[in-house]
Amino acid sequence: MKPITLIALVAILLSTTAHAGPPTPNYAFVNGRWWNGSGYEERTVYTVDGVLRSKRPVYIDQTFDLHGGFVIPPLAEGHTHWIEPSKVDDYNACYLADGVYYARDMANIPFLVDQFRDKVNLPTSVDWVSAMTGFTGPGAHPAEILEGFVRFGLLPKDWKPDYDKQGEFVVSTEKDIDERFPLLLEQHPAFVKAFLLFSDRYQENLKDPNVKPDARGMDPKLLPHLVKLAHAAGLKVIVHIYSAADFRNAVAAGVDELAHFPGNGYGVIKSPELFQITAEDAKAAARAHIPVTTTVAWLGEYKEKNSPSYQITRDQILIPNMKLLRAAGVRILIGSDKFRRDVVPELQSLRLLGMFPDAELLRMDTETTAQATFPHRKVGKLQDGYEANFLVLDRDPAANLDNLSSISMRVKQGRRIFVPASAVSRPSPDCTQGKP
Ligand SMILES: [Zn+2]
């Protein structure tokens, strides 16, 4: 045996050792119509080592005839909070049943995440990233939500009422941020979350005992300092906004993304003008390449309840704001902020605006939102070299999003995944199917 052959043999043995464990099967998928972002292409696609390939591999373990099925990348939930560890099995089943493989958790609590970390980011679970503990001001959102969790027994009864460092980072000065930022880094967040609510009235609201936490956030003057620390640590800053002033303050502070549309839901009916952004606001966000996540799932709930808020928020806030953002070229991401539901009801609510063809909503979610959730992974497209994550549907979801209910096969990291029939045929969008 020549030395070169021996070296080659050793190399082959080493590479085999490196792939120890059951190999990912090689599959061929024939007779499928593959989504390319705007239409479908009929082609044969192979999955090799969990990656999509257009070239046939040497060995094929199994060939699947898709019988003209429609193949799309999986859906992404751009805004959620997985805050019930005991329900994470239900969340996983329900998201995967609906074809939602990716979830971006927009603030959570280590006490809760420690209870379910081993149930996410598996080949057979949802791929999940989180901001972990968020930054807010004294007596501010989301303290009122944490208080509810303490009442329901989800969080320890003995936690101090401002929840600083336990459930949120409460900051009033740059020094407060400096002290807490290393604690956040220990939690390995995927990005940094901060809360602004009526931030133009920060000082007045802070002094006013009648203002509740759900109308207070962080001092907007502190935001540039947080952005500086986050960027130095290689992390993006995503800011919860509520009013048009929050939109403006966040963009001016150099943040990377806005979570929520101005006027996300409740209490906006009395003064819609507080939530109407200007063309200049939209252009400033576009210039800084700042995307905005929708979170308008509540609009569908307003419509179901025949609420008078439906027409006002839709016609006076959401549609005009969306028109300005689109005209300016701001990237729109899709997320619901509905913790027991996934992104499908959000897509339904966005249809109520009458501004987007279903094919565009599909692309905004499966491509733009998926890529924003995992910016360092090759997801969101069905091209050569991308992760072999896809859904096969009997009916075309780009022609009608209702057809998302016709998923016949789910492939994740090159393997078929199987979900409980009860999750597929559940009677409501609620992932826990009404269980308390
Ligand atoms: Zn949220």
Q: What is the pLDDT of residue 147?
A: 95
120 to each of 9, 82, 105, 373, how far by Cα in Å?
Answer: 38, 11, 12, 15
pLDDT band at 21 (very low <50, low <70, confident <90, very high): low
pLDDT tens, position by position, 388-404: 999 999 999 999 999 99
Cα–Cα distance, 170 to 20 (Å, whole number) = 47
Distance 166 CA to ligand 1 centre (A): 18
List 407's β-bridge partners, or say none: 393
Distance 130 CA to ligand 1 centre (A): 11
Q: What is the pLDDT of residue 271?
A: 85
pLDDT tens, position by position, 50-68: 999 999 999 999 999 999 9
pLDDT tens, position by position, 335-391: 999 989 999 999 999 999 999 999 999 999 999 999 999 999 999 999 999 999 999
Question: DSSP label at 150?
Answer: H
With residue 180 as reference, give the H or E element that holds it.
helix 174-186
pLDDT tens, position by position, 275-303: 999 999 999 999 999 999 999 988 888 88
Q: What is the pLDDT of residue 7?
A: 52
pTM (whole model) above 0.85 = yes
Cα-Cα end-to-end distance for the chain? 69
Distance 106 CA to ligand 1 centre (A): 6
Distance 117 CA to ligand 1 centre (A): 19
pLDDT band at 269 (very low <50, low <70, confident <90, very high): low
Alpha helices in 50-173 (DSSP H): 88-97, 110-113, 143-151
pLDDT band at 12 (very low <50, low <70, confident <90, very high): very low
Question: DSSP label at 271?
Answer: -
- Close Cβ partners of 382 (under 8 Å, ≥ 6 residues apart): 34, 35, 36, 45, 52, 71, 72, 73, 390
Q: Give the mean model confidence (pLDDT) for residues 192-209.
A: 95
Distance 337 CA to ligand 1 centre (A): 5
